[in-house]
Structure 1
């Protein structure tokens, strides 16, 4: 038979004279900003402008050799290549079974972005696909999934091409697509080739550029444009919105303690404040660049108990400085630097900014997670570094005003600073508890929060006397202390009586009083655990054969949002009813084993939580749930993903 050809579309100390140092720091900030905003954007624009459309870079053709074999051919343009690992062959309808595809040898090269050896094809590739079982009428569809890249490092999303076997003159090629926009650097590795897909079922979908249903999508959408000026500007705005988070608020007393001193002038306070903010920005940009360069190796390290423990210790150390145990700017290394040269306090401020940033970055999960996920998937170190640099500048802009006010308008020392430092110290301790909570058993977490609330209530004066003529702020502090004491006491009562729910410590008592004679509780969502890609593929084929949609949940014991989904979303009766006829699979990646990392990599996930949805036809839905969603939002996501498939 002849070839059927069609294009495929893709799915001090000393006093400062004047403000010359301030002008110097401002100039440095401006240079860094414009370098970030303009360096990569022009390069990306030029690269994308010179790229061939995907239908020209990878010309697809297929022909039927005989009843038992199909030949698939890709004509690859010069300067482009296809990955062998990205090929997936699937057939439908039920009854068609494919054999093991026969690939020619390719060129093996080490992919820097993926950190592994990859087999690729240049010029062209012809693949023979054996057919073990064919339908009686001889008509069926062969779906070929592939992915290619330009040698310069720009990759296209996975491509899906369909060849109709049989049907006489009506036979031929059909095209499917998800996106035709190229991406910088390869997306995460796809699943291995499936030599046999079972009874004609469509195989699991390759990670695609399809939009996901989560707040991180807005972040990814901005990053996907590769216009770093826009990226930095948007993330500057996001940073401004993050200024009231506990981590950023904790910077206020840290910066104030550095600024306050002898011979403080307005210009001096401005210079020190700018140096502090610049230190935070450089540290945050470094995190983004590291994510882009290391890819999966960065994410796996960041999610380990060691990393969570290190962040907790850093947050506790900063909290202790808030309580006056030590002053960050007066530690021996920083004091030595300050005494050695006239600009030492500026260096101290910059170093303190770097240290503070390591805590603050952890407290802004949505833009951070979205940025790091995009960096890991695309290897765009410049884009992610510029994004976090812009976000840090945005968060630090109000701090500059605070620093100038501290050094010029506000008394160098006062009761206000002591109260503020203590308050933010407790916020930092709370943030440390939040970070380490995935590593603690429920009873230990409840006990820790109870102790923190009771100690905070004592500092707020809950157990002291108001005095004969108390001020309004004193009354307010005592009231807040009493509320904290009550909350801590409730946690202790719940813990002592057997409760293990931090948000509802007495819920078990209420349930015991209101329970009917039957002790059966509400129906729970039961997941079937899968441990590897092979197990997942097998269950997907079975579910598709039965005509059932699939929900794949990524879970870990240390994942706070996973537990929130379990307690607040999956327990909702409406959600349980909607999932009654859905195959529920769960990948527990707590151990972070090689199989766990492979599963995460397959879907381009940074880590849990993440929910992947498949329709009853076995196709992966473009709708994904990344992060916590309330029951109502989750039901909306299911409706978009399943349509009528989830309603049986």
Structure 2
């Protein structure tokens, strides 16, 4: 039965105008209001988030926004217009649906803590100093029997505008980290507008963590992990003398060691805010990762054999306690060895976690990832005694190991590519492809796999050579976005002329940036839609350089790729900011939003 609208309206009216009048003076005390910001200071030309928090007295509630019925008074926050400030759309919390005696149907309401968020963008010409955002928090407090008169509480939100030389740090990550990426990005892109955020928004945390677990399983296909498989089997083979339950327990400790490594990565990524980007701009880190991959490749080529460290092998033959410590240590080693391959695959995860600034989010995401990576090792460890009885794989497996070795050399080249001039990299790819192709296809003497195996070797060799040749063949010029290198003079000129601007913050080491260039920015519809904009690329390859830091702080960029749209008034279109990879169709929607169409 539908709610009787007239009866409900009469009920509220009588309760409001009758004996409830005696309680009107206490209505404001039923909702205590405070405000918080996503940053400690703001810079001219940047964006940030504001949260208005209402604490509703226990036993009372306020109507949701939007309300169930149009004549009910919604809870809302209205901000007063300010020069040089642009306020984005209010983001209201999810409502609770409750049943009341005076209604035949359930109503959408808020109880307890009510958090209303909204993005703010400040003009680039605003002078440093203390500013105040003023607004009105409107609500009507009710309990199960009565409703008080609507209340308008005046709210003042102090902010401090600082010069670009002063740092601006993310704060209140517990409120902004898991809900909006803007708290440290300075934009208004909700996490729902990133690939990972969209998954969380649409599917919830359970399915998101399940997807991360599957990603962890897939990481076992990366070449960095492969050299550790025989090490794992060899380690647990020595433990297989005992009961299966004991070996299973050691395998779980092995998994715990892997989990410790990646959980720490997640926590550090959250605390630092930009772990992957800030590390990969350091040439020494790039070279270090490449050397690890070369070392793993040499082991696959048979130059030497990777074994567990001596102190772990000594523990293996000890008592149960030593075995536990050895298994835990082995898991730590596997986690560290696999990390170079895991990083590029999980860059989106690292960027998300770094942007939230929430250590718990980082911990649980990377703990789940490590479970996916480590579960196969639990099976390997538990059934290692049975694996020893399997027949040897034959020479074809030796050839596969060499194939993985060349793949690792390719990854090593990928990491050090930013250190070489752009024109040199294709020739390095060609050289590696020719060597690997000729060796795998013709020079390698491993045989015994039959005719099919020999054909596979030659096909692999030809494919490698073809990849190298295509790497040095100039791409056929076609339609493209007319990107220009960022120049403050060009930026100021376009803003003065009222021309919209698109800023692409990119880096040589950024994999999603390359995907954007290859798939999104090459799309004809995207090229046509972006044509009205002055398209500027901002190179953040050297992320912490003195040249890059002011731009990152001015536009609130902590990770790449980040795309910022500036409208004809010279203000950022907050709802259109993009962080991470977007396909052509999704990116077109952001462009149209920026143009107001």
CA shift in 2, pair 1:319/1:443, >3 Å = same
Give the direction of change, closer, same or farther, for the CA distance of 1:364–1:605 in structure 2 (3 Å limit). farther
Aligned with 1:477 (options 432, 435, 453):
453
Which of residues 423, 430, 437 in structure 1 aligns to 2:417? 437
Say if 1:351 and 1:529 are closer, same or farther in 2 by CA, change over 3 A: same
- Aligned-residue offset at 1:481: 2.4
Correspondent of 1:622 among 562, 568, 575: 575
Out of 379, 398, 413, the residue aligned to residue 401 of structure 1 is 379
Q: Which runs of 5+ in 1 are unaligned?
A: 1-6, 12-47, 71-78, 80-85, 92-97, 106-122, 130-146, 158-180, 191-206, 495-500, 512-520
Q: Deviations over 1:398-417 (max 9, x none)?
A: 23223334432443783456
Q: CA deviation at 1:282?
A: 0.8
Do residues 541 (structure 1) and 495 (structure 2) align? yes
User: Is 2:214–2:372's contact at 8 Å kept on the other side of the alignment?
Assistant: yes
The question of whether the paired residues in 1 share the 8 Å contact of 2:484 and 2:536 is answered with yes
The answer to whether the 8 Å contact 1:561/1:628 transfers is yes
Q: Secondary structure at the match of 1:103?
A: strand
Counterpart CA distance in 2 for 1:466 and 1:325 is 16
Residue 590 to residue 336, structure 1, CA distance change in 2 (3 Å): same
Q: 2:560 aligns with which of 594, 608, 614?
A: 608
Indicate the SS of the match to 1:611. Answer: strand
**2:584 counterpart residue number:** 634
Whole-angstrom distance in 2 between the partners of 1:218 and 1:295: 20
SS for the counterpart of 2:184 is coil
- Tell whether the 8 Å contact from 1:253 to 1:421 is kept in structure 2 after alignment: no
**TM-score, structure 2 normalization:** 0.63
Cα offset, 1:60, TM superposition: 7.2
Tell me the alpha carbon deviations over residues 306-335 of structure 1, each in whole angstroms, 9 at most, x when there is no partner.
222222222222333333434433444444
Counterpart position of 1:188: 184
1:376 equivalent to 2:354? Answer yes
How do 1:157-172 and structure 2 match up within 5 A? none
Asked whether 1:244 is paired with 2:211, we answer no
Given that 2:503 and 2:537 are in contact with CA atoms closer than 8 Å, whether structure 1 keeps it comes out as yes
CA 1:325–1:451: 2 relative to 1, 3 Å: same
Distance 1:247 1:298, change over 3 A: closer
SS in 2 for 1:641: helix
Partner deviation per Cα, 1:474-498 (whole Å, 9 max, x = no partner): 4343223213332444466x4xxxx
Q: Does 1:506 align with 2:485?
A: no
Aligned mates of 2:490, 2:200 — CA distance in 1:
27
Counterpart in the other structure of 1:530: 486
Determine if the alignment matches structure 1 residue 259 to structure 2 residue 236: yes
> Are residue 599 (structure 1) and residue 595 (structure 2) matched?
no
Residue of structure 2 equivalent to 1:290 = 268
Task: Determine the structure 1 residue equivalent to 2:130.
Answer: 103
Which residue of the other structure, out of 590, 607, 610, is the alignment partner of 2:541? 590
Task: Say whether the 8 Å CA contact 1:456–1:484 is kept in structure 2.
Answer: no
**8 Å Cα contact 2:505/2:562 also seen in 1:** yes
Query: Matches of residues 416-495 of structure 1 in structure 2 within 5 Å?
Result: 418=398, 421-442=401-422, 444-457=424-437, 460=440, 462-463=442-443, 473-490=449-466, 494=469
Partner of 2:502: helix, strand, or coil?
strand
The CA deviation at 1:99 is: 7.4
- Normalized against structure 1, the TM-score is what? 0.59
Kept in 2, the 8 Å contact 1:213–1:623? The answer is: no
User: Using the alignment, how far apart are the partners of 2:79 and 2:209 within structure 1?
Assistant: 43
Q: CA deviation at 1:393?
A: 0.4
- The CA distance in 2 between the partners of 1:69 and 1:454, in whole Å, is 59
Q: Give the one of 497, 500, 508 matched to 1:557.
A: 508
Among candidates 527, 530, 534, match of residue 579 of structure 1: 530
The 1:183/1:310 distance shift into structure 2, 3 A limit, reads same
Q: Quick one: distance in 2 between partners of 1:246 and 1:155?
A: 39
Q: How far apart, CA to CA, are the structure 1 residues paired with 2:268 and 2:80?
A: 42
Q: Which residue of 1 aligns with 2:96?
A: none
**Could you tell me how far apart the structure 1 residues matched to 2:465 and 2:175 are?**
57
Q: Which residue of 2 aligns with 1:178?
A: none
How far off is 1:583 after superposition?
1.4
CA–CA distance in structure 2, aligned partners of residues 276 and 69 of structure 1: 57
Shift of 1:389: 0.6
CA contact (8 A) 2:418 2:509 kept: yes
Match of 1:215 among 195, 201, 222: 195
Aligned CA RMSD, in angstroms, stands at: 5.3
SS at match of 1:554: strand
Q: Distance in 2 between matches of 1:209 and 1:572?
A: 23
Q: Does 1:311 align with 2:289?
A: yes
CA distance in 1: counterparts of 2:282 and 2:367, whole angstroms: 25
CA-to-aligned-CA distance 1:361-402 (integer Å, 9 cap, x gap): 454568733433333233211221111011110222123223
Superposition pairs for residues 83-162 of structure 1, below 5 Å?
100=127, 103=130, 154-155=174-175
Give the Cα separation in 2 of the matches to 1:57 and 1:303: 47
Using a 3 Å threshold, how does the CA distance of structure 1 residues 564 and 621 change in structure 2: closer, same or farther? same
Q: Residues 236 and 89 from structure 1, CA distance in 2 versus in 1: closer, same or farther, beyond 3 angstroms?
A: closer
Determine if contact 1:148/1:155 at 8 Å carries over to the other structure.
no
Q: Would you say the 8 A contact 1:219–1:367 is kept in 2?
A: no
Q: Distance in 2 between matches of 1:490 and 1:128?
A: 58
Q: Are the equivalent residues in 2 in contact too, given 1:243–1:249 (CA < 8 A)?
A: yes
Deviations 1:164-216 (A, max 9, x none): xxxxxxxxxxxxxxxxx9669x92274xxxxxxxxxxxxxxxx2253564423
Conservation of the 8 A alpha-carbon contact between 1:311 and 1:359 = no
The count of aligned residue pairs is 479
244-253 vs 396-405, which deviates more? 244-253
Separation in 1, partners of 2:158, 2:382: 68
**CA spacing shift, 1:189–1:486, aligned 2, 3 Å:** closer
